[in-house]
Structure 1
Amino acid sequence: MLSRRTVLAGSAALLTGPARAQNPPLRFGVIADPQYADAPPNTAMGRYYANSLDKLSAAVETLNAQDLRFVVTLGDVIDRDFSSFERILPLYRKLRHETRFVLGNHDFEVGAAHLGQVVDRLDMPGSYYDFVVQGVRFVVLDGNDVSLFAPPQGDPRWQLAQERLAAAKAAGLPNAKPWNGSLGAAQRAWLERTLAAAQRAGERVVVMNHYPVLPENPHNLWDSGEIVAVLARFPNVLAYFNGHNHAGNYGQAHGIHFVNFCGMVDTPDTSAFAVVEIAGDRIDIRGYGREPSRSLPLRAA
Structure 2
Amino acid sequence: MTSFSDLPILRFGVVADPQYAAREPHVGMDRHYANSLAKLSEAIEVFNGEELNFVITLGDIIDRDFESFDDILPVYDRLKHENYFLLGNHDFAVAADRLADVASRVGLASSYYSFVRQGWRFIALNGNEVSTFAPPEGHARREVAARRLGELRAIGAANAQDWNAMPDDEQFAWLSHQIEDAAAAGERVIVMNHYPVYPPNEHDSWDRERMIALLAAHEHVAAYFSGHNHAGNFGTLDGCHFLNFKGMVDTENENTFAIVEIRTDHIEVRGFGREDSRTLTLRR
- The TM-score bracket by the shorter chain reads over 0.9
* Alignment partner of 1:80 out of 59, 64, 75: 64
Q: Give the alignment partner of residue 290 of structure 1, picking from 261, 265, 274.
A: 274
How far apart, in 2, do the equivalents of 1:24 and 1:266 lie? 31
- In the alignment, which residue of structure 2 is the partner of 1:270? 254
**Which residue is 1:280 aligned to?**
264
Following superposition of structure 1 onto structure 2, how do residues 21-170 of structure 1 map, counting pairs within 5 Å?
21=6, 24-170=8-154
| Deviation for aligned residue 1:240 | 0.2
SS of aligned partner of 1:37 = coil
1:18 aligns with 2:26: no
Equivalent position of 1:233 in the other structure: 217
Aligned partners of 2:161 and 2:266: how far apart in 1? 35
For 1:173, give the aligned amino acid: A
SS at match of 1:215: coil
Q: Could you tell me how far apart the structure 2 residues matched to 1:17 and 1:81 are? A: 49
What is the aligned partner in structure 2 of residue 204 from structure 1? 188
SS in 1 for 2:194: coil
What's the C-alpha RMSD, in Å, of the aligned pairs? 1.0
Unpaired runs of 5+ residues, structure 2, are none
Superposed CA deviations along residues 198-246 of structure 1, whole A, max 9, x for unmatched, are 0000000000000000000000001101111111222110000000000
> How many residue pairs align between the two structures?
284
- The equivalent position to 1:247 in structure 2, one of 213, 227, 231, is 231
Aligned equivalents of 1:58, 1:19: Cα separation in 2 = 31
For residue 152 of structure 1, report the CA deviation from its aligned partner. 1.5
> Which whole-Å CA distance do the structure 1 matches of 2:165 and 2:50 have between them?
35
SS at match of 1:51: helix
Q: Secondary structure at the match of 1:142?
A: coil
Residues of 2 paired with 1:42 and 1:156: CA distance? 33
Separation in structure 2 between the aligned mates of residue 62 and residue 106 of structure 1, nearest angstrom: 26
Shift in Å, 1:19:
5.2
What aligned pairs does 1:176-215 form with structure 2 within 5 A after superposition? 176-215=160-199
The answer to whether the 8 A contact 1:25-1:279 is kept is: yes
Distance between the aligned counterparts of 1:192 and 1:232, measured in 2? Answer: 12
Segments of structure 1 that go 5 or more residues without pairing to the other structure are 1-15
Partner Cα separation in structure 2 for residue 115 and residue 72 of structure 1:
22
Residue by residue over 1:278-297, the C-alpha shift from the partner in whole angstroms, topping out at 9 and shown as x without a partner, is: 01101000000000000111
**Distance in 2 separating the partners of 1:109 and 1:266:** 18
Counterparts of 1:264 and 1:203, CA distance in 2: 31
Cα distance per residue 1:59-86 (max 9 Å; x no partner): 1101100000000000000000000000
Which residue, out of 152, 155, 162, partners 1:171?
155
Distance 1:184 1:200, change over 3 A: same
Task: Tell whether the 8 Å contact from 2:127 to 2:194 is kept in structure 1 after alignment.
Answer: yes
Residue 19 of structure 1 contacts residue 280 of structure 1 at CA under 8 Å; is this kept in 2?
no
Matched AA of 1:273: F
- Maintained 8 Å contact 2:30/2:251: yes
3-state DSSP of counterpart to 1:50 = helix
Which residue type is aligned with residue 231 of structure 1? L
